Amino acid sequence: MSDRTILVLSALKVWSLGANKGAQSLYKTLKYLNTEFKVEFFSNTISKEEQIPDLNNIKLTKINCFSLEKTFTPNHKLHSFRFIIFPFWWFVFQIRSFYAIRKKIKENSHSILYAYEVSAVPVMKFLSKIYTLPLVTRFQGTILYPLLHKKIRRLLQFHHYIALKITSDLLIMTNDGTKGDIVLKKLHNRSKKILFWLNGVTPPKLPTEEAIKVEKLRLHISKESKILVTISRLVFWKRVDRSINIVKKMSDQSVHLIIVGDGPDRERLKKLAQNANNIHFVGAIPHDNIGLYYALADVFLSLYSLSNVGNPLLEAMSIGKPIVTLNNGDTKTIIKNGENGILVNENDVNQIYKNILTLLRDNKKRKILSENAKNFAQIHFWGWSERMQKEIDEIKLLKQTA
């Protein structure tokens, strides 16, 4: 292991939905960086509950700045004032992070700074300038592409614009379908090196036939029923309501929808699905067990408004699941319509409905899509260890030239 230290700052949780649940990118980043470097992680979200056993040799430092997570839930009494509260929070986060990380830099003047996502970038850029340290900026994607020509919305998302305009020694933008490469060009980002990569993919561990039978019995799903599955954090732009409305529209009650995930949109979605016995909310599931729900899927749905090339879709492809998704963002670079999945127009609800219904009735077509999806994944996707090793190799080059 290198004697260099990487100081990682983020306003995100290590796991978005609790230990081993939800988005895994930040966890994987910390875990693999720690195989080659000493890693210290700074965040305002750190709590006693978030001491991840796998990361127990990474020093966690809490930034003394309140979390906005509860404020941003729709039912919170301050939710309507979130656009006023956020700039204040952002400013406090920058100041508190500066003092916490400056202290660490004074103890170790040979550190590498690593800003994970937008809120961490400005302060880490400032510190890199003051102490002439190499800076890595990392983004999970971006919300900015549809907002590039909307001036008022740009003001509301000021922190995204600031972060994506800031240059660094190494900028890593995840290719998640949100056109981050185009956004960086439009904002004239002149970072020394820009990488546009897919996330790593670990195929879910598939369950036994007995486990599948037990879960169907628990959910009151008969052997003959067809099952649709969607996996995501329950936030509005993931548009899980589309899947719910499609299933409610079906007269065939033997078609079931399983919704895996949790988040601030859960209660609204449950009200929408009220009295539908064939719609099941199973909550956030640990990654070690999530393969059960991929295995249950006759068709996997990904109907997000902003981006559909997230890890759930990539994981579904890696184990050969028939997929119906939207032709928006860069989804068509991964899904070839009629070959390894079905692409539908975002605003054509009837087309989405008809394609899902047709696919559920066509066993042969589902088998073809499954085989082609799995073959595509084997050729084009990196495992997490391979993906992160490539990043580590790039960071080592910074070490040599800094």
One domain for residues 151 and 13: yes
The pLDDT of residue 251 is: 75
DSSP reduced 3-state for 238: helix
What gap in Å lies between CA 113 and CA 120, rounded to an integer? 10
**Cα dist. 190→50, 165, 208, 265, 390 in Å?**
36, 8, 50, 37, 21
The pLDDT of residue 81 is: 56
Helix (H) or strand (E) holding 344: strand 342-344
Amino acid at residue number 337: N
One domain for residues 174 and 296: no
Higher pLDDT pick, 66 / 384: 384
What gap in Å lies between CA 211 and CA 39, rounded to an integer? 39
One domain for residues 33 and 158: yes
Q: Return mean pLDDT, the chain.
A: 90
Give the domain extent around 104. Answer: 5-200+383-401
Domain count, the chain: 2
The predicted-structure confidence for 270-280, as pLDDT tens digits, reads as follows 999 998 899 99
The pLDDT of residue 284 is: 94
pTM of the model: 0.90
One domain for residues 255 and 289: yes
The pLDDT of residue 399 is: 66
The predicted-structure confidence for 56-109, as pLDDT tens digits, reads as follows 788 889 998 877 665 555 555 555 556 678 888 999 999 999 999 999 999 887
Q: Which residues pair with 352 in a beta bridge?
A: none
The pLDDT of residue 393 is: 96
Let me know: does 302 contact 308? Beta carbons within 8 Å: yes
pLDDT (mean) for 362-373: 97
One domain for residues 71 and 36: yes
Percent with pLDDT over 90 in the chain: 70
Q: If pLDDT is split at 50, 70 and 90, which confidence band does 378 have?
A: very high
One domain for residues 173 and 54: yes
Residues 6+ apart with CB under 8 A from 12: 26, 43, 45, 116, 117
One domain for residues 215 and 186: no
The predicted-structure confidence for 106-156, as pLDDT tens digits, reads as follows 988 789 999 999 999 999 999 999 999 999 999 999 999 888 877 776 777
* C-alpha radius of gyration, the chain, whole number: 22
Q: What are phi and psi of 16, to 5 degrees?
A: -70, -25
One domain for residues 248 and 390: no
Q: From edge to edge, which strands make up the β-sheet containing 279-283? A: 279-283, 255-260, 226-231, 299-302, 323-326, 342-344
Q: Which residues pair with 59 in a beta bridge?
A: 40
CATH number at residue 339: 3.40.50.2000
Residue from 369, 361, 376, 371 nearest 342 by CA = 369
Percent with pLDDT over 70 in the chain: 92
One domain for residues 150 and 139: yes
What gap in Å lies between CA 29 and CA 35, rounded to an integer? 10
Let me know: does 17 contact 50? Beta carbons within 8 Å: no
One domain for residues 181 and 235: no
pLDDT (mean) for 176-194: 94
One domain for residues 249 and 308: yes
Q: pLDDT at residue 239 above 60?
A: yes
One domain for residues 224 and 159: no
Amino acid at residue number 376: F
The pLDDT of residue 371 is: 97
